[in-house]
Amino acid sequence: MTGTTENEKQIEVDFKDKMTYGEYLSLDRILSSQNRLSDHHDEMLFIVIHQVSELWMKLTLHELHAAIEAIKANEMDVSFKKLARVSQIQVQIIQAWDVLSTLTPSEYSEFRDSLGSASGFQSYQYRMIEFALGYKTPHVLKIYEKDPALLAKLEEAYQTTSLYDTAISQLHKAGFNISDEILNRDQTKPYVADQTVLEAWKVVYRDTETYWELYQLAEKLVDIEDRLQQWRFRHMKTVERIIGFKMGTGGSSGVNYLKKVLDQTFFPELWQLRTEL
């Protein structure tokens, strides 16, 4: 059957004076940003996967920052929606490794040298996600000294109260005895597990009806860390599958470094309480 149906006659076709879908999304800029440095076919895969992941990270940061502000304003239901969205975004980023793992060692070796010292280790958005979750290490800032504007942006994120510190503040507001060392701690230091925080979360988990919102907040945090660790694991195995135990392009030890990263934790008390309940 050919021709246009009655309903389809309403479809817009004249865009001389109207904004198109492509213009709204700036597709001309997005789709012209896959600039291969080699002639190898599979470099396109490598670029697209990493660009898409960076877009998902941008949205992750957008949602994390909104969730932190919602928690500070005691708008817990709003924060839950944002944090749940982050968890779903993480699913997409995790699955991206399945696509990249179709790249074989022989294929990657054909264009790997074109990357020079560029490496995912240098992803500033990933560092900002770590900062937002509470994992802060000063040495990584040196990577970004080349771009003063970007460095300033990262330093601001580095000094900003994290999601976990914001959650701990909610415990304090709910009447739990949180140590002054935690409540007034230096936000630029990595978070270290604290017994008063652990005891507070244990009460929350033992009396979920009374502390339902705090309980829901804690579980949203566990969801995020769980999926971040899944992402890290898939990253490590994909790298091992493609380059084995070679050094990373950015100078890291590659797989060995990624294995050590798996031991990092963001919300230690929320994991520890599972053993103690």
Please indicate if the annotation marks 192 as binding a ligand. Answer: no
**Contacts (Cβ under 8 Å, ≥6 apart) of 80:** 216, 217, 220
What is the DSSP code (8-state) at residue 121? G
Please indicate if the annotation marks 266 as binding a ligand. Answer: no
Helices (H), 9-42: 21-24, 27-30
Residue type at 267 in one-letter notation: F
Would you state the structure tokens that stand for residue 44, as one six-digit string? 């396109």
Please indicate if the annotation marks 65 as binding a ligand. Answer: no
**What whole-number distance in Å separates Cα of residue 270 and Cα of residue 198?**
7
**What whole-number distance in Å separates Cα of residue 33 and Cα of residue 27?**
10
Q: What is the largest CA-CA distance in the chain?
A: 75
Please indicate if the annotation marks 161 as binding a ligand. Answer: no
**Contacts (Cβ under 8 Å, ≥6 apart) of 255:** 236, 239, 240, 243, 244, 245
Please indicate if the annotation marks 41 as binding a ligand. Answer: no
Please indicate if the annotation marks 47 as binding a ligand. Answer: yes
> 3-class DSSP state for residue 41?
coil
Are residues 201 and 273 in contact, defined by beta-carbon separation less than 8 angstroms? Answer: yes
Are residues 238 and 100 in contact, defined by beta-carbon separation less than 8 angstroms? Answer: yes
Please indicate if the annotation marks 15 as binding a ligand. Answer: no
Please indicate if the annotation marks 235 as binding a ligand. Answer: yes
CA 55 to chain centre: 10
**What whole-number distance in Å separates Cα of residue 57 and Cα of residue 140?**
18
Which residue positions form the known binding site for heme? 235
Which residue positions form the known binding site? 46-50, 108, 112, 235, 249
Which residue positions form the known binding site for substrate? 46-50, 108, 112, 249
